[in-house]
Structure 1
Amino acid sequence: MLTLHVEGMSCGHCVRAVTEAIRALDPRAEVAIDLATGTVRAETGAEPRAVAAAVEEEGYKVTSAA
């Protein structure tokens, strides 16, 4: 399970954009996003750096990944 802390997400569009960015790397990824805390949890086989980069390409700032 990969957990990212992401700044700049505030709505359903943000959830879709981040989810689609992660699923572009791993179509079978399971993604859960908590807008209130800015937490993205992804069950994925994709490399954490690639996932963080994909989220940042959508215009969001990843502040930590674990």
Structure 2
Amino acid sequence: METLNFKTNIKCSNCVATVTPYLNDIEQVDGWNVNTDSPDKLLTVQTTDNRIADVVKQAVEKAGYKAELVNA
């Protein structure tokens, strides 16, 4: 299992609810979490395919937010 981390502008539980259907629709995502208490609003994605970073970024952007892959 691989872990991808993204710096986002997802700020609250309502924001998380907004991106949920978009992230849940990505077949290769085994789980994900947004730490809204973190200064970087870190989105952590567990996947079996670490090549999906662009797919995750596009899904977050479709929900109206930004995501930038970070090395963590």
Q: TM-score, normalised by structure 2?
A: 0.73
Percent identity over the alignment is 22
Does residue 17 of the first structure (1) align with residue 21 of the second (2)?
A: no
The Cα shift of 1:28 comes to 5.4
Does residue 65 of the first structure (1) align with residue 66 of the second (2)?
A: no
Write out per-residue CA displacement over residues 24-48 of structure 1, whole angstroms, 9 at most, x where no aligned residue. Answer: 1127521111112210001024511
**What aligned pairs does 1:2-41 form with structure 2 within 5 A after superposition?**
2-7=4-9, 9-26=10-27, 29-37=30-38, 38-41=41-44
**How many corresponding residue pairs?**
64
Counterpart in 1 of 2:60? 55
Q: How far, CA to CA, are the matches of 1:16 and 1:26 in structure 2?
A: 18
Q: TM-score, normalised by structure 1?
A: 0.78
When the two chains are superposed, the root-mean-square deviation of aligned CA atoms in Å is 1.9
Unaligned runs of 5+ in 2: none
Unaligned runs of 5+ in 1: none
| Matched position secondary structure for 2:21 | helix
Q: How far, CA to CA, are the matches of 1:36 and 1:15 in structure 2?
A: 12
Q: How far, CA to CA, are the matches of 1:31 and 1:22 in structure 2?
A: 8
| Matched position secondary structure for 1:29 | strand
**Structure with larger Rg:** 2
